[in-house]
Amino acid sequence: MNFIALIGTVKPFGNKGDEAIYITSIQLIRKHLKKIKILLASPEFNPSYKKLRKYGADIITRHPMGALSELLRKTNSSTTFQKHLAKYIYYHTPPLISALLSKKIPSTSNKVLKNIDTFVIVSHPLEAAGFSTYISSFVIPRFLNPQSKVIAFPLSLSTKILNNFISKSRAKNALNKANIVYTRGNHTAKLLKKHLKLRNVVASFDPAITLSKTEPKEKPLKGIAVVPAGLSVSPLFLAKLVRKLIEKLEKHVYIIPFSLDDIPIAHKLFNLVKNKDSCNVIDTSNMSSQELKGFLSHVEMLITSRVHAAIFALGEHIPTIGILREDDVKFYDVLEAFKLDEYVFNPKITPISTLNKIISTAKTITDNRSDIVQLIKQKLPSAVAKAENTCSTLKKLATGD
C-alpha cells in the first residue's frame, strides 16, 4: 500500500478556510486513490493530534522543518526559554539549512518521510508571513528522497514576493522542485509564468469548493454577511460599510469572524456600528467549517475580506463581493472563475470612492440577484472539476495509472 504525505504550510486549525483546505484535500485524495494511506505533516508547533484526526489522515506528524527544534524539546523539563527558542528556530531556520538538518538529525517524522515518494504541498498563499516554512515545504521532500514526486495545490500569491529579488528567486527555486504547481486560479498562474518563468504551473481551483455543508443550529434571517480579516482591512472602513448597508439597502448585517484572530476584530467592528439593532456578531468559535458554510448558504449576499468565505458562499450560489487585503490576489483567482471579478475592490485606493462603489455594487446585486445566482450555478461545475482534476493528476503521479 502506497503512502502520500501532505505537507502543510500553515497550521490546520483556527481558521475555517485553512481547515477546509485540509479536510477537502484529504477527501479528494481518498476519492481518487482508493488504496492510499495519508500522512499529514502539520506545521503547527504543538499540534493537537486529536483535532487533526478528524481530518481523516492515517498518520499525523510534525512538519519536517521541526527537526532542529525537536532537539530542544526532548524532555518535559525543558525551560520556558528553550521552548521559545525552539519555536523561533522552527519558524525561522533558513530552508536550505532546515532541509540539510532534516536529513542529518534523527527525527521520527523524517524517518517516516524518507520512505514516502509522493508529496502534496498544501500550499495556501505564497506570502511574506511564514515564508521559510513555505519554501522548506518544497525543498525538504527532495532532500529526503531525491526521486520523490511533488505536487502543490491550491497556490495563490502575494505580489510582494514579486517585488523582492531575493524572495522571488527563493520562490522560483522552491516551486521548480515540484512536478506540478496547481494555482487557485488563472490570475496567479499568469503571474508565476510571467515573473518566475515557471513551466510547471497549471491554473486550477481551491479544493475547498467541494466542502459539504451542515445546517447551522440557528438559521439566519435574510441579510448580508460581512467577514473581516484581522486588521488588514480597516475596521473603521468596514464599520462605515456596515452602516451604509443598513441605511441604504435596509438590510440586517451579520458580522462573521472566520478565524480565531478575527473574533476580537468582529466585536470591535460591531462596537463601531451605530445601528446595532440591525447588526450582530455570529459566534463561530465552536462552528465547524461545514456548519459555517451552511450558515452562509442562507444569507442574501456576502461581502468578505477572507477568500474562503467567498468560496463557501459561491459553492452555495450566494453572490459575493471581495475586499482585497494588501497585495493578495486570491480574490481575482476565485471571483474570475465565476465571471464576477468586477466585484473585487481595494479599499486602500481612494477609500471613500471605494466604499461608495461597494454600496452601488451591493444594490446592483440586490436588484439582479436571480441573474447573478444563475451565473454562479453555471460556473460552479467548472470550478469543482478543476479542483477534482488536481487529484486525477496526483493519481497518475503516485500510481503511474
- Report which of 67, 49, 51, 69 is spatially closest to residue 59, judged by C-alpha positions: 49
The least confident of 95-109, 309-323, 384-398 is 95-109
pTM given for the model: 0.90
**pLDDT per residue as tens digits for the range 17-67:** 989 999 999 999 999 988 888 988 877 655 566 777 788 888 888 777 655
Tell me what pLDDT residue 251 has: 93
**pLDDT per residue as tens digits for the range 221-277:** 789 999 998 778 888 999 999 999 999 999 999 999 999 989 999 999 999 998 899
Q: CA dist 235 to 273, 343, 347, Å? A: 10, 20, 11
* Full set of structural domains in the chain with CATH: 2-204 (3.40.50.720), 224-379 (3.40.50.2000)
